[in-house]
Amino acid sequence: MSLYAIGDLHLHFQAELKAPGQLTDPVWRGHEERFFKICSEQIHSSDTLVLVGDHSWGRHLDECEKDLEYICSLPGRKILLRGNHDMFWDAKKTSQLNALFEDRLFFLQNTFYSYKDYALVGTKGYTFEGPFYVTRSGAILDWDREKEAQAQKLVEREAQRLRTSFEEARNAGFRKFIMFLHYPPTSILEKRSVFTDLAEEYGAEQVIYAHCHGETRFHDSIQGRFRGIQYSLVSGDFLRWNPMKILD
Ligand SMILES: [Fe+2]
Ligand SMILES: [Fe+2]
């Protein structure tokens, strides 16, 4: 029995692919088959796989049916987090999705799921991603302050959702936590954030996040041990489609 995580499958069995530049990297070629094969070989029916957002390019549920069926067909218990591209998933209607995929997929929003004596908590998260004004050598001179203020409002809303998730778990008696975000916990301007503070406040053992694609983005945020917590990036292209084992 093991816990695995990976993010950013960006499936498009139905939806027309309007891929941003980074998704044209060769690592994305045939990634659905590659990922399915790896999962079939490594993941057992008693395992749990957390999919950390950006599941589908489809904008509506009827454009995602085949993508979600593909996810259903992967081995193990599948827990899904919302990503910024998951337009099919209205956060306020998560209970409808859970009813529709009852016992097949578990959509995590304002709640938690258990794994042994751990609570798996999380939310999409958010972080300021620019625009930044940089020199030719890449040093940041300044950034768009208005966009930063707008981002801060989304950060606060997501931090509240994360707190709800932690509180639900704590009220249910859990004291050990693994925390999941789709967005990285810090922006490239930050060393710490409200998300790292929440991880520390509740004593999360690990923080798992995705969203960062391509060599130029893989090191946008924290990786490794920071203030007693293990931080891991699990975007699919970063892991080359090998799900990361989080716990035995
Ligand atoms: Fe993504
Ligand atoms: Fe994303």
**CA of residue 126 to ligand 2 center, whole Å:** 10
CA 77, 94, 69, 122 dihedral sign is negative
Instruction: For the chain, report the end-to-end CA distance as a whole number of angstroms.
Output: 6
User: Residues of the chain with pLDDT > 70: what percent?
Assistant: 97
What's the whole-number average pLDDT of the chain? Answer: 95
| pLDDT on residue 25 | 85
Res. 24 pLDDT band, cuts 50 70 90: confident
- Among all bound ligands, the one having the nearest atom to the CA of 235 is 1
Distance CA 219, CA 212 (A): 8
What length is written for the chain? Answer: 248
Query: How much is the pLDDT for 19?
Result: 57
pLDDT given at position 17: 66
Ligand 2 center from residue 41 Cα (angstroms): 27
203 Cα: distance to centroid of ligand 1 (angstroms): 27
| C-alpha 9 to ligand 1 mean position (Å) | 7
The string of pLDDT tens digits covering residues 129-145 is 989 898 888 888 899 99
Q: Which ligand approaches the C-alpha of residue 7 most closely?
A: 1
Q: What is the rounded average pLDDT of the residues 58-64? A: 92
Burial class (CB in 10 A: 0-12, 13-18, 19+), 48: buried
Confidence of residue 244 (pLDDT cuts 50, 70, 90): very high
Closest by alpha carbon to 204, among 134, 118, 133, 84? 118
Compute CA distances 83 → 9, 152, 164, 182, 204, whole Å.
11, 18, 18, 6, 21
Q: State the pLDDT confidence band at 16, using cuts at 50, 70 and 90.
A: confident
Tell me how far apart the alpha carbons of residues 158 and 229 are, in angstroms, rounded to a whole number: 20
For the residues of 145-209, what is the DSSP string, one character each? HHHHHHHHHHHHHHHHHHHHHHHHHHHTT--EEEEEESS-SS-TT-S--HHHHHHHHHT-SEEEE
- Tell how far the Cα of 7 is from the centroid of ligand 2, in angstroms: 9
Provide DSSP, 56-77.
Answer: BS-SSGGGSHHHHHHHHTSSSE
**Predicted confidence band at 20 (pLDDT cuts at 50, 70, 90)?**
low
pLDDT above 60: residue 21 = no
State percent of the chain over pLDDT 90: 87
Mean pLDDT, residues 68-84 taken together? 98
Distance CA 204, CA 176 (A): 7
Cα 141 to Cα 15, 98, 128, 129, 144, distances in angstroms: 39, 45, 16, 15, 11
- List pLDDT tens digits, range 189-232: 999 999 999 999 999 999 999 999 999 899 999 999 999 999 99
Q: What are 88-131's pLDDT values in tens digits?
A: 999 999 999 999 999 999 999 999 999 999 999 999 999 999 89
**Measured in angstroms, how far is the CA atom of residue 154 from the centroid of ligand 2?**
15
Distance of CA 212 from the midpoint of ligand 2 (Å): 7
